[in-house]
Structure 1
């Protein structure tokens, strides 16, 4: 069996976490301008870090949510809350991660992230997922 490339491993991990629809949509929007960036994140974030042994996807998901919330990256928080449907992180896991954000990054950052998570989880429940 041939060894997979970093890009292929990254794309497989990216799809397993974010879902085929999200990755297909991102790929369809890719242009010559951002193609190198897309390759970089697929190889670096997804092929190297997210594909490493040692932490589960659930654990990585919780860490990622806390970091994104602490940094105020709202769109990415929403995307990774949606991704918890694929990583095994539960609403209680999300809550616990965001409580850490409140203590270590500040209540305003956690407050915003809780609002985003609440909205995304309500959408998922409303769709019967």
Structure 2
């Protein structure tokens, strides 16, 4: 059982994950692996994403570039949606993914754009976009 401070850390991470990735994210993660959900929520979100040095918008840009480079398409999709919610524009998402080509290669950039484009098209078609 987690100590109170560990429980607070986990809950802070879960709230930030839900804010960034969308409602239901933590439940979806937990359904796949409760252990990995706890590690992701506590470490990735409470400890890393919760640090004060970068804004959520800036962390989104970093996360998109890294997941594109790793060709982690599922996670890239999560981070594209999160970036849009954090104020990154669809054109800025495209620029981040194009920039990946310079260091990770054109195949990584192309596959990232193929993952992102349906998400961006949906965002651009939404009312008020």
TM range (shorter): 0.7 to 0.9
Structure 2, unpaired ranges of 5+? none
Aligned residue number for residue 85 of structure 1: 84
**Matches of 1:76 and 1:93, distance apart in 2:** 18
Q: Secondary structure at the match of 1:49?
A: helix
**Secondary structure of the equivalent of 1:65?**
helix
Partner Cα distance (2:91, 2:82) in 1:
15
Q: Matched residue pairs, number? A: 124
- Greater relative contact order structure (CA < 8 Å, 6+ sep): 1
The two structures have a TM-score, normalised by structure 1, of 0.85
Shift of 1:14: 0.7
Q: Structure 2 length as normaliser, TM-score?
A: 0.85
Unaligned runs of 5+ in 1: none
Distance of 2:86 and 2:27 partners within structure 1: 19
Instruction: State the 1:127 CA deviation.
Output: 4.0
